[in-house]
Structure 1
Amino acid sequence: MTSPLDSRQILRRQLRQARKNLSNHAQLIAAQTLVARVDHYLSGQQTDKLKKVALYLANDGEISPHLLCEYFWQQSIATYLPVIQGKQLGFARYTADSMWQENSYGIKEPVTADYAPSRDLDLVFLPLVGFDSQGGRLGMGGGFYDRTFANKRPDASPQLIGLAHECQQVKSLPVESWDVPLQAIITPQQSILVS
């Protein structure tokens, strides 16, 4: 009999492969469309109050927020990227002239002394491996975002927004006790408001 954790691992492999199978052209179209979808999502909010936003560098077929980063730069909104600090994440300022280093997973991180405490961020866009229409999410399995935001109240900053390709949606995901809830999930085709 397959345990729930084994089921998550199997599903994680399948969904990672699905997003890796997307062509470079499909990835670019998805990144372009994502900007319009996020702009629409934010249009109902007080975007003039946005000062600090965290994104990520796409890896392993993840939908790329690189054009979203340019969108925020055009509005003079500071952008930050996650940096592994022990078992949690710090958020380092990202600029066009950032210097880089690779973390233990081979993912680039900015080299800077300019960090923002997670509570000072307005929005955190995080990558997903899988999601469902109820706001369930499946990450890579490292638990970094879950540990970083474990004590965050749903009504407190920052808003946590998952980004994914449509092919990563499943009918239902089991929610574990350690899974930090998202406020929204955005794909190029839809926005799911969770809480």
Structure 2
Amino acid sequence: MPSPSSSREILRRQLRQARRHLSAHQQSLAAEQLLTQFIASPLASKLTQQSRIALYLSNDGEISADALCQHLWQQNIAVYLPILDDKALKFARYTADSKWLENRFGIKEPIAAEIIDGQELDAAFLPLVGFDTEGGRLGMGGGFYDRTFENKQANHPPILIGLAHDCQEVAKLPIESWDVPLDSILTPSTFIQLD
């Protein structure tokens, strides 16, 4: 019988492969549909011009949050991107004229004067490798988001929203004690609110 950690690694490989096999057209269409789902969701009406929202730059086949970012900017909502802070994350303000540097994983991070902690966000849209409808999130395995939000209390900001392709859903994820659950999940075809 495989250990929970080995079954997570096997699942992680399978799901990463599934999302990487999506064509550029499928990726683009998924990003547009994701925005449509967001606009129709109850989340959209909760955001104001005072909201601070974290997104991410897509990598390794992750669903793109670019259309969502453009929409938030049009609503004059502040957008932040994750930056490495040792083994956790902080969030740097992202604007259309942001300058960039690459972190140790080769992922771009904005160089910003305004950097905040995760607890200062109103909502964070998180990338993921896999999810289940109970709020389970399987990430890339580094634990950065889990460490960043490990002290988050249920029903308190920030709202944690997993963004994913529909092909990343599984019936039940093997969950570990350190996994921080999602408050909701947004895919191109659905919005799942978890209580």
Give TM-score, length-normalised by structure 1: 0.96
Q: Provide Cα deviations, 1:78-135, integer angstroms capped at 9, x if missing partner.
A: 1000001101100000001111111111100001121122222111000010011222
Q: Verify: 1:95 aligned to 2:95, yes or no.
A: yes
Match of 1:159 in 2: 159
Q: Is the 8 A contact 1:162 1:185 kept in 2?
A: yes
Shift of 1:175: 1.7
Match of 1:81 in 2: 81
Q: Verify: 1:120 aligned to 2:117, yes or no.
A: no
Structure 2 Cα separation of the partners of residues 136 and 66 of structure 1: 24
Structure 1 Cα separation of the partners of residues 43 and 10 of structure 2: 37
Q: Verify: 1:148 aligned to 2:143, yes or no.
A: no
Structure 1 Cα separation of the partners of residues 54 and 139 of structure 2: 17
With over 3 angstroms needed to count, the CA separation of the structure-2 counterparts of 1:112 and 1:47, relative to structure 1, is closer
Q: What SS does structure 2 have at the residue aligned with 1:29?
A: helix
Match of 1:72 in 2: 72
Q: Is the 8 A contact 2:52 2:79 kept in 1?
A: yes
Match of 1:105 in 2: 105
Structure 2 Cα separation of the partners of residues 172 and 127 of structure 1: 18
When the two chains are superposed, the root-mean-square deviation of aligned CA atoms in Å is 1.3
Q: What SS does structure 1 have at the residue aligned with 2:135?
A: coil
Q: What SS does structure 2 have at the residue aligned with 1:176?
A: coil
5+ residue gaps, structure 1, are: none
Shift of 1:49: 6.1
Q: What SS does structure 1 have at the residue aligned with 2:41?
A: helix
Q: Is the 8 A contact 2:48 2:77 kept in 1?
A: no
Structure 2 Cα separation of the partners of residues 50 and 39 of structure 1: 18
Give the number of equivalent residue pairs.
195
Structure 1 Cα separation of the partners of residues 169 and 46 of structure 2: 29
Letter matched to residue 62 of structure 1: E
Match of 1:134 in 2: 134
Q: What SS does structure 2 have at the residue aligned with 1:101?
A: strand
Shift of 1:51: 1.7
Q: Provide Cα deviations, 1:124-173, integer angstroms capped at 9, x if missing partner.
A: 00001001122211110000000000011012111000000000111111
Structure 2 Cα separation of the partners of residues 184 and 129 of structure 1: 15
Structure 1 Cα separation of the partners of residues 120 and 131 of structure 2: 26
Structure 1 Cα separation of the partners of residues 108 and 43 of structure 2: 31
Structure 2 Cα separation of the partners of residues 54 and 35 of structure 1: 15
With over 3 angstroms needed to count, the CA separation of the structure-2 counterparts of 1:153 and 1:49, relative to structure 1, is farther
Give TM-score, length-normalised by structure 2: 0.96
Match of 2:20 in 1: 20
Shift of 1:19: 0.1
With over 3 angstroms needed to count, the CA separation of the structure-2 counterparts of 1:123 and 1:44, relative to structure 1, is closer
